[in-house]
Structure 1
Amino acid sequence: MLNKKSPLPLYAQIEENIKGQIQEGAFKPGDPIPSERELTSTYQVSRMTVRQAVLNLVKNGLLYREKGKGTFVSEEKIEQPLQGLTSFTEDMRSRGMEPGNELISFERVIPSFDIADKLGLEIQEEVFFVKRIRYADHKPMAIESTYLPSKLFPALTEQVVQGSLYDYIASQMLIIGQASQSIEAGLASTDEAELLQIEEPSAVLKIERLSYLTTGTPFEVVHSTYRADRYKFRSEIKR
């Protein structure tokens, strides 16, 4: 199957071969690919060569690895437009996917100076700290850590944050206005990799959002870690 006289390295030929099989439907999204040992036997090359090919396909997002389970064909990435302010729940529902949460932490805390400053709080004013794993069709997509001023949401409960926070905010007769958001690339920490069910180190998207009500009052700071193999952002730019 491989041309050892070709100027194209063997690992690159294996990459192209596996890509072709995915495009032809031999491997479908979610399907496991053969183990390194099986690929070594199939292509009659060293395990190091196979590993390089698979690693490149993982880096390029065509494959993903799950700890202790193997390597699988990636599903199409969820595309998020950078225009418009929507919640994770709204995003998933608009795509016909089932949103879900797993609550990791819910507590009232004194925030750091940086968080208090962004939320316009006085010293010792408390916030609700909410940490959740966000799911799409029962698969982990992101980890969200949210800080909400307790004076704005005194009746907030664990039950409420199991659903959509934005739906709850609307029910309190508060109108969400706008947000500022920053996005940067990073590598998953050990804890993040475990929660997102990805290998360490894997590429992730780190997002920080500061959101305001229409009155200009800041109501949340959100730090999110998204799986880079499942999520991408799109923007339209006009001159």
Structure 2
Amino acid sequence: MPQKPKRIAKYKIIEEYILEKIKSGEYTKGQLIETEQELIEKFSVSRVTVRQATNNLVAKGYLSRSQGSGTFVSSQKIVGRTTNVKSFTDEMKEMGKVASTEVLEFKIISASPEIALKLQMEKGKPIYFIRRLRKADNDPMMLETSYMSVEDYPDLSYGNITGSKYQYIEEVKNQTIDHSHHVVVPIMPTEEIVKYFNYNPEQPLIKLLNTTFLTTGKILDYTEVILNSEKYQYQSIRAK
């Protein structure tokens, strides 16, 4: 019996519509896109659906907003997204290494304006602050600082983050991770990094600013990852 074609979420249809206009040159850098009301009428959807589509494109770097002016095509360089999101635990297993995690901090804080914007939530809302040192065969590979909504994941525990956070999301919460958007920046090591990685203080390393999205379009977390560049090579697969 033939399988029914999968339904495409309406917000994704709007995303693709806007992206196609950007890629074709119909929308140029700095140009205003159609208003929310025009998109609502064109696709017969709610304001929430339109906002979800444009929020995703803002988070991915394709669009930017100016309060009181509207939504513009971003003039910033677009960074390719990865097409295959793997947990650190699974990645190390494929390499024949044993992954382990040292939880350095795990607490609830109020979302700052900057982090609230990254998570697309109201500032001041409770969020998890998670700092972990990820290791392979007991060698430190990355220092990871994550922010997640407490409201969305009230049962997140210390035990969940000592292993694979993605496993908790997919097996405990029954949610599916769709993709991650990375911004890669070079930095010089801090004293903390030199201590954890036993790193040369004069050698630069890589920092990833990582936003992970679920298939629903919602943001799972925002994470800043500092890689031990002497031992861990960052790779990304760009979608066509």
Is 1:191 the equivalent of 2:226? no
Is 1:218 the equivalent of 2:219? yes
Contact 2:213-2:219 at 8 Å conserved across structures: yes
Any idea what SS the aligned residue of 2:86 has? coil
C-alpha spacing 1:127/1:238, structure 2 compared with 1 (3 Å) = closer
CA distance in 1, matches of 2:239, 2:149: 37
Residue in 2 that maps onto 1:132? 132
Contact 1:193-1:201 at 8 Å conserved across structures: no
Contact 2:132-2:143 at 8 Å conserved across structures: yes
Any idea what SS the aligned residue of 1:233 has? coil
Residue in 2 that maps onto 1:167? 167
**Per-residue deviation, 1:236:** 6.4
Residue in 2 that maps onto 1:92? 92
Residues 69-99 of structure 1: CA deviation (Å, up to 9, x unaligned): xxxxxxxxxxxx9541111111111111100
Contact 1:100-1:136 at 8 Å conserved across structures: yes
Give 5+ residue unaligned stretches, structure 1: 1-80
Give 5+ residue unaligned stretches, structure 2: 1-80
**Per-residue deviation, 1:197:** 1.9
Any idea what SS the aligned residue of 1:232 has? coil
C-alpha spacing 1:158/1:238, structure 2 compared with 1 (3 Å) = closer
**Per-residue deviation, 1:134:** 0.5
Contact 1:203-1:227 at 8 Å conserved across structures: no
TM-score by length of 1: 0.62
CA distance in 1, matches of 2:205, 2:98: 22
**Per-residue deviation, 1:126:** 1.0
- Report 1:80-119 matches (<5 A): 83-119=83-119
CA distance in 2, matches of 1:186, 1:154: 34
Any idea what SS the aligned residue of 1:153 has? coil
Residue in 1 that maps onto 2:120? 120
Any idea what SS the aligned residue of 2:234 has? strand
CA distance in 2, matches of 1:215, 1:235: 23
C-alpha spacing 1:237/1:219, structure 2 compared with 1 (3 Å) = closer
C-alpha spacing 1:236/1:117, structure 2 compared with 1 (3 Å) = closer
CA distance in 1, matches of 2:165, 2:106: 13
Please tell me the residue identity of whatever aligns with 2:111.
P
Any idea what SS the aligned residue of 2:233 has? strand
Residue in 1 that maps onto 2:229? 228
**Per-residue deviation, 1:203:** 2.2
Count of aligned pairs between the two proteins: 159
Any idea what SS the aligned residue of 1:205 has? strand
Please tell me the residue identity of whatever aligns with 1:108.
I
C-alpha spacing 1:169/1:144, structure 2 compared with 1 (3 Å) = same
Contact 2:187-2:204 at 8 Å conserved across structures: yes
Please tell me the residue identity of whatever aligns with 2:129.
F
CA distance in 1, matches of 2:164, 2:179: 17
Please tell me the residue identity of whatever aligns with 2:133.
I
Identity %: 23
Is 1:148 the equivalent of 2:137? no
